[in-house]
Amino acid sequence: MIPSPLRLRIERAALIANWRTLADMSGAAACGAAVKADGYGLGAREVVRSLGEAGCRDFFVATWAEALDLADLGLPVSVLHGVRAEDIGITRPANLRPVLNTREQVLRWRNAGGGACDVMVDTGMNRLGVSAAEVAEGLLDGLAIETLMSHLACADEDVPMNARQCDAFAALAGRTSARRLSLANSAGIALGPDYRFDLTRPGISLYGGVQRAAFEGKIRQIVTPEAQVLQRRRVAAGETVGYSATFVAETDTQVAILNIGYADGYLRCFSGKGGARAGSAALPVLGRVSMDLLAVGADAAPQLREGDWVSLAYDLPATAALSGLSQYELLTGLGRRFDRIWD
Ligand SMILES: *Cc1c(COP(=O)(O)O)cnc(C)c1O
């Protein structure tokens, strides 16, 4: 296979270290891993394999297609979107189970013979989940529930809604057959012991996301996009670079053209703002990001030439602040043209 001119370097040891950190912060609760959207863009199979070896036993995806892609790894996977009519006929390996979200899904699962499942209860986010009132009416009676869960709307902020959701969820303890309760996503883990229950479900922080001060200095960056230089050129003072000629060289400027663009998830919001590195040299993004190409200033890297590789600045919290994209979008937008290289 021809190597791609762009690659994602993914540091396996840092992924595992992040999971261990989050598991420690989860106290006595087990620590799972959200691997939906292909492991937040990094490759769900590699993430599950790595964290499975580290001891993780609870994985979460959005859809059955995602779950079936992981089935042969033999680890428990929960499907957050539950069972639609279209999903019920699937031959389900025993290690995959749905997270039931609605009355219809509960009835559908029961009618199909039931079996181990998880259930999502809404505690105020008004996204997915049955209501506490439906639980009180006995909707879940007789189900073999492994994990009863709810999801926090504002775990990355300090707002009263967190405690309200936590209290509403805690009030469901003992009201169902559930073996375990689970509320916290990554940011929820940092909200303290009350939020841990029996199982935590981090996603973004496994992959380097830092949304709360408690994670600063503890969660490591695991992903670095790298792109190859296609051309090096000199742009004379007064000339411009790229679409709409938005960059105008004030002096003679060395420019490297890189094999990455907005079709790879390096979006136009990085125009004139993003940065790359060649060794210790900092290379600023010049002008507009194109679909497949990016211009960076190369005055600081006199040795850089065609075929060399540079790494894009991609520390998640800093890059989110710079670009206005969320830390989640920065990962899940990374396209298919990257070779994903696990170090
Ligand atoms: C995506 C998701 C998570 C993980 O959230 P992060 O903010 O990435 O830690 C946990 N639980 C549910 C239900 C999710 O959809």
pLDDT score of 149: 98
CA 149 to ligand 1: nearest atom? 13
Gap between the Cα atoms of 339 and 278, Å rounded = 19
Ligand 1 centroid from CA 337, angstroms: 26
DSSP 21-39: HHHHHTTTSEE-EE-HHHH
Residue 265, classed as helix, strand or coil, is: coil
Residues 6+ away with beta carbon under 8 Å from 188: 152, 155, 162, 195, 200
pLDDT score of 288: 98
Residue minimizing CA distance to atom 10 of ligand 1: 185
pLDDT in tens, 154-172: 999 999 999 999 999 999 9
Sort strands 294-297 and 253-258 into parallel, antiparallel or unpaired: antiparallel
Gap between the Cα atoms of 183 and 201, Å rounded = 8
Residue minimizing CA distance to atom 3 of ligand 1: 185
Catalytic residue among 36, 40, 262, 314: 36
Ligand 1 centroid from CA 195, angstroms: 14
Residues with CB under 6 A from ligand 1: 34, 36, 80, 151, 185-186, 201-204
Gap between the Cα atoms of 303 and 147, Å rounded = 56
The residue ranges of the chain whose pLDDT is under 70 are none
Burial 147-169 (b: 16+ CB within 10 A, else e): bbbbbbbebbeeeeebeebbebb
Residue minimizing CA distance to atom 13 of ligand 1: 151
Ligand 1 centroid from CA 181, angstroms: 15
Residue minimizing CA distance to atom 12 of ligand 1: 151
CA 155 to ligand 1: nearest atom? 7
Is 328 noted as a catalytic residue in this protein? no
pLDDT score of 1: 86
Gap between the Cα atoms of 109 and 111, Å rounded = 6
Gap between the Cα atoms of 61 and 97, Å rounded = 10
Residue 254, classed as helix, strand or coil, is: strand
Is 207 noted as a catalytic residue in this protein? no
**Is the whole model's pTM more than 0.85, yes or no?**
yes
CA 120 to ligand 1: nearest atom? 13
pLDDT in tens, 295-328: 999 999 999 999 999 999 999 999 999 999 999 9
